[in-house]
Structure 1
């Protein structure tokens, strides 16, 4: 009751909105596994009330920056007397807080942790593929990465890669998962290979590579890792020499003095992808689809705007006028073509009428009497 009173006063003073609801708190799912019904009953913690305070969006946002293992509030002047009344955070509470903080704050991962990579991806990639790439970045925090010994990996996994070109091998596991894992192999020329094959099948780096990118100074990003079929139309004409001049991006800098410069070469990726299949013919097909999609999006916006402003009649009048104009132009074009064909046929008919056809040799321009193929004695 004392906490509720102090919290209410604090909310009024700081211009918070105030809400109180009754809730039940249960263990997280991973902790519930393997417990009997009696054990679950004892483990469940009940909180009588939950207090929610919010501030307007125009104010500076307030987020979780750290976790204290006990309920404590600066606005309470009697902390020493009141502290014993409030229990400490249990481990399930801490797990849930960590889980929700991770999952609710992943939207800014590309800009916060991959600023340079996100910037160049926005410059080169179409919106749909940019969203796919950013989604792979968002999921890296749900995985753990472990540096592996090269001799531990089965040779069948790296039979297509020369052992001398391998720098590091990383094992990537989903958090709390002890079964499924993927391996990311970093090579000396800047290439990498992941057992999920997302880079090969989809043409963009996977979440496992972004996890390693946050861990190893040997992991490098270059826009050439992303297949050119996902580039904007204006970037499709860029040459390999121009791409090579773009910066190679490292997230973890190597602080050691014995840093060895290695030239970047993505021929391995191009070989595995079987060359550049995005031909000029496919570019034209995709370009036509993109234009149709943009036009349809503009048409939808126009309909939404007409609905909001109640301008249906004006929009219909514009569309009908354009349709009538298009039909008139089409009819005029057909009429012109018909006229051309008619004139051409009349000219041909006139020419055919003027020219004579020989009954002997079937030639044009003379008759049987003047036919050169007829013997001279028969002409007279």
Structure 2
């Protein structure tokens, strides 16, 4: 998608003064020789902001390969940490945080934000509250997946008691902080043990009522999407051929209209 320019250069720089533009670079593809291929333009502004006509830094929130190419060629191009949108960070950077900048291979820190790029970008909807909620859902999903796997292994290996004991110790350790109670779990375990310890009851097979299969009512007609067997097709052809009997020669397989003897007799007459 971003191999083609998404905006014209004059539209990209329409709201900027000429004094704010330091350099404009043209980036072309060497391997593409088609007449329809269009070059990209990278503009470097006074506050270290760089825009590209592919608009990857706006749509995706990170610099494009054209901008990285200019960083290696231009002395005025600066890599600013503000190029990367905040939704790509694990922790939300504060407004007073220092931004890392790299210019001509030298790494420095600056508290000056990018004025022009902040005007074009939309507001950050990935707030800290939404991030905490999303992190909780991710943690819950990973923990639930691990719990299901543990239960399956415990049931398969017959080690449910060991798993239950580990979970009981874990709940007892954190129940005061969470407000959960372990009594309900213990009551459930005791009732389960009592059910398991009950003696087996011998069942008389003669007293078990006979259960038959449910009645099947065959619908009328041929079932949908069913291919006919070879025998069904052959039987139908035999029935069709045997039903035709010529009234003139009394032979089977045709009628009087297609009878050759009848046509010959009409010609003689």
> Where is the helix percentage greater, Structure 1 or Structure 2?
1
TM-score (norm 1): 0.35
- TM-score scaled to structure 2, two decimals? 0.48
Larger Rg: 2
